[in-house]
Amino acid sequence: MELAERIRAGSQVSLARGLTLVESRSDAATELLAEIWKDSGRAHVVGITGPAGSGKSTLVSVMAQEYVARGKRVAILAVDPSSAYSGGAILGDRIRMTELAGRDDVYIRSMASRGATGGLSRAVLDGIVLLDAAGFDVVILETVGVGQAEVDIISVAHTVLVISVPGLGDEIQAIKAGLIEIADVHVVNKADRPGADLTVRQLRESLRLTPRAPHQWNVPILKAAAATGEGVPELLDTAAEHQAWMARGDGLGEVERRNAATRIRWAAEALVADKLRSGHGGFDDAVEALIAREDEPREAAARLLTAMAVDPADINGRRTS
C-alpha cells in the first residue's frame, strides 16, 4: 500500500490520513497496521497524566521543544484533551505552539473518545504504531488522569510521568486518582508556586508506603515549572534513564509484553468474529441444533472454534476487524 510507504518516508499528510483511519477503525486501518507493524518498535513512548489544569499540555510543549533541541523527532498524542489542544493545535499556549508548528520533526495530534473507551484505547495503541513507524524517536501521550479508562490508556507508555501540583489540598491528587501505582516518575509541576516542597514530601511519604521489590525502578520525584521551563531538561534525562533501565532489564519488560498480548488478543477476537459472521464452519446448523436443544451454547461454540481453522492465506486482503 502506498500510504504505508509515504508514512514510512515521513509524510505528515499521509500520517494524518493514517491516524484518521485508525481513529475510525476502518478496514483500511487494519491493512495499514499489518503492513507497517514491522517498522515500529523503536520509539520511546512517554505518558503524561495528572489532574485537569495541572499543566500537562504546557509541560508537553516545553518537553517537545527540549527533545527537538536535543535532535530528537517528537510526536504528541493528546487523548481526550479538554481545552489546551484542539484539532491538533495547542490553543492555550500559542507562543510555544508557534515554535513547534510547521516542523517536520514535530507532529501534534488529538484523539477524542467518541463513545466507547475500549475503542479509544485501541486507536491510541494503533496510533502509536503509526507514529513510531513514521520515525519519531519519542511519542508523548497526554491524558487527564481521572479514571480506570485513562489509567488503561496511559499504561501503554514505556515511561509514565504523573503530574501533581502544589496547593490542591492535603491529599495528593495522584493518590486520589489511583495513579501512584502506575507512575515511573512523579513530577510536581508549578514549582514556582508555594507548597511544592510539601507536595514532594507527601509524595515521598506515600511512595514509602508502597511496597517495592529490591530490583525495582526507584520512582523519582522531580520538581518542574512548565511555565518557565525549569526542571524540564532533568525530566528528559530521567525519562531517558528509565528507558535505559527498562532496556537493561528484560527486554522492554512488562510494557511491551502487555501491549503485544493485547494486540494478539484483539486480532484473534476480530478473526473469530469475522468467521462467525461469515457463517463459516456450520454456524447456521449450530444455531438450529441449539434451538432444538440438541446442543448447549458453550459446546456449540467449542465445536465451531475447532472447525474454524484460520488459514493465513485467508486473511491476506481480507478484513480482520
Ligand X SMILES: Nc1nc2c(ncn2[C@@H]2O[C@H](COP(=O)(O)OP(=O)(O)OP(=O)(O)O)[C@@H](O)[C@H]2O)c(=O)[nH]1
C-alpha cell at 129: 504504531
Cβ at position 84, least distance to Mg ion in Å: 4
246 binds, among Mg ion, ligand X, none (CB under 5 to 8 A by kind): none
Is 57 one of the binding residues for Mg ion (CB under 5 A)?
A: yes
Return the axis-axis angle of helices 12-24 and 27-36, rounded to nearest 10°: 130
- The strand order across the sheet containing 138-144 reads 106-111, 74-79, 138-144, 44-50, 159-164, 185-188, 221-223
Is residue 209 within 8 Å of 159, Cβ to Cβ?
no
58 binds, among Mg ion, ligand X, none (CB under 5 to 8 A by kind): ligand X
Q: Nearer to ligand X by C-beta: 192 or 285?
A: 192
CA distance 106 to 73: 6
Binding segment toward Mg ion, per CB under 5 A, in 49-57, 97-105, 173-181, 293-301:
49-57
144 binds, among Mg ion, ligand X, none (CB under 5 to 8 A by kind): ligand X
C-alpha cell at 134: 513514521
Site string for Mg ion, 111-150 (x = CB under 5 A): ----------------------------------------
Is residue 216 within 8 Å of 245, Cβ to Cβ?
no
Burial 223-239 (b: 16+ CB within 10 A, else e): bbbbbebebbeebbebb
Q: Nearer to Mg ion by C-beta: 56 or 190?
A: 56
Among residue numbers 72 through 91, which ones bind ligand X (CB under 6 A)? 81-84
Closest among 188, 135, 179, 175 to 157, alpha carbons compared: 179
Is 176 one of the binding residues for ligand X (CB under 6 A)?
A: no
One of 55, 74, 107, 232 touching ligand X (CB under 6 A): 55
52 binds, among Mg ion, ligand X, none (CB under 5 to 8 A by kind): ligand X
Cβ at position 95, least distance to Mg ion in Å: 16
Long-range CB pairs of 97-100, under 8 A, 24+ apart, other chains included: 97/61, 99/65, 100/61, 100/64, 100/65, 100/68
20 binds, among Mg ion, ligand X, none (CB under 5 to 8 A by kind): none
Q: Which residues bind ligand X (CB under 6 A)?
A: 52-58, 81-84, 92, 144, 189-190, 192-193, 225-227
